Structure 1
């Protein structure tokens, strides 16, 4: 699976409606309302890179009320257990 994280700026009075419209789209796994520079974060999962354009540009980008988007494509995923193991590599218990 290919995962993309889409940061979305929305007209302030449309955030709940836009969030729900995006959450209802095929390929969108989750939508979060967030603080900071953007209003929403959408997590998109697709099988092929070509499918990203369809979901992000053709579906998400056409939801009424969206002002701007920025997309980051994930290339590795880490769970909390993975991070703990990664940080323990090379530890010297004698130090």
Structure 2
């Protein structure tokens, strides 16, 4: 399993709604509210070979109130 981090910018005042909807989908291992350019930071574990682009596109299409996303793909250092 490989972790990715997804930063989500929501419509104003909708971060909580998006976080609840995302939690209900049970795809994220952790969801945080953040300060800065993005409202939420989401940790998702992906199976080896799973398509990151498809996962993000599916989430963006299923979740309401998303304005923008930024995906961070991790690489094992040690």
Q: Provide the TM-score with structure 2 as the length reference.
A: 0.83
CA-CA distance at 1:65 after TM superposition: 0.2
CA-CA distance at 1:31 after TM superposition: 0.9
String of CA shifts for 1:2-48, please: whole Å, max 9, x gaps.
11100110012211110111122243111100011110011010112
Greater percentage in strand: 2
Q: Provide the TM-score with structure 1 as the length reference.
A: 0.70
Give unpaired runs (5+ residues) of structure 2: none
Give unpaired runs (5+ residues) of structure 1: 79-95
Aligned to 1:39: 39
Give the number of equivalent residue pairs.
77
Please state whether the residue corresponding to 1:28 is helix, strand or coil.
Answer: coil
In structure 2, do the counterparts of structure 1 residues 77 and 3 end up closer, same or farther at CA, with 3 Å as the change threshold? farther
Greater percentage in helix: 1
